[in-house]
């Protein structure tokens, strides 16, 4: 397994100690992205603040939001994000058998509703470089979800692109969060 491209032992500033405390309380261990970002305490504080604000967005159904985020993470190939996303799905009470199929959802289309497939297709299209979102797909989702939820979907995919691209570029890999779940996660 490749190692991170940055030390995961930042200086133990007050910000880092608070981040470690929060991560242990929320996730059971310190998340590697927090350790990587800990080398820049101001950025770490502002990133945590941003993530707290993102977590309060509630216009989009949580299950659909999770499918979009996980599909985007898988499309980018961020094993850390897929691992954490699977653990998070378990904590949200989402069906893990279905969630385990997200990285290869096109091969398991019968496991998802038409709306779920459209959400994952949209996430994948947005994640492509350059983005390849067809007008008809965006229009269909906007009509089905409503404008507020469509905006949240779009923004959540963009946020996951930020997360996954940071983690991938820093060489962060699966941290073993999904090991605590009932079934193993399949890979794309």
Q: At what angle do helices 62-76 and 79-92 cross, to 10 degrees?
A: 160
Distances, alpha carbon 126 to alpha carbons 15, 29, 129, 157, 161, in Å = 33, 31, 8, 7, 9
Is there a single domain that holds both residue 48 and residue 110? no
Can you give the residue range of the structural domain that contains 121?
A: 62-180
For the CA atoms of 61, 63, 67, 70, the dihedral, rounded to the nearest 10 degrees, stands at 110
Is it the case that residue 6 has pLDDT exceeding 90? yes
DSSP-H helix ranges across 38-134: 41-54, 62-76, 79-92, 96-99, 114-127
Is there a single domain that holds both residue 151 and residue 66? yes
For the CA atoms of 8, 12, 17, 21, the dihedral, rounded to the nearest 10 degrees, stands at 40
Query: Which has more confidence, 56 or 177?
Result: 56
pLDDT one-digit tens code per residue, 68-113: 999 999 999 999 999 999 999 999 999 999 999 999 999 999 999 9
Is there a single domain that holds both residue 45 and residue 112? no
| Closest-CA residue to 160 (of 187, 105, 122) | 122
pLDDT at 183: 44
CATH code for the domain of 73: 1.20.1290.10
Q: Region 125-145: what's the mean pLDDT?
A: 98
As for how many domains the chain has, the answer is: 2
Is there a single domain that holds both residue 50 and residue 68? no
Is there a single domain that holds both residue 85 and residue 31? no
Residues 8, 14, 17: CA angle, nearest 5 degrees: 50
Is there a single domain that holds both residue 69 and residue 141? yes
């Amino acid at each position: 397994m490749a190692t991170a491209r940055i030390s995961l032992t930042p200086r133990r500033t007050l910000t880092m100690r608070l981040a470690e405390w929060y991560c242990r309380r929320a996730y059971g261990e310190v998340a590697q992205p927090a350790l990587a970002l800990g080398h820049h305490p101001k950025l770490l504080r502002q990133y945590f603040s941003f993530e707290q604000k993102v977590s309060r967005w509630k216009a989009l159904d949580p299950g659909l939001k999770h499918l979009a985020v996980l599909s985007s993470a898988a499309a980018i190939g961020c094993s850390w994000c897929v691992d954490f996303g699977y653990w998070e799905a378990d904590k949200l009470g989402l069906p893990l058998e279905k969630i385990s199929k997200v990285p290869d959802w096109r091969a398991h289309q019968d496991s998802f509703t038409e709306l779920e497939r459209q959400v994952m297709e949209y996430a994948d299209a947005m994640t492509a470089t350059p983005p390849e979102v067809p007008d008809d797909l965006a229009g269909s989702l906007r009509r089905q979800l409503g404008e507020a939820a469509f905006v949240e979907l779009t923004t959540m995919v963009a946020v996951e692109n930020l997360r996954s691209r940071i983690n991938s570029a820093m060489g962060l890999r699966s941290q073993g969060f999904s090991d605590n779940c009932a079934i193993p996660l399949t890979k794309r």
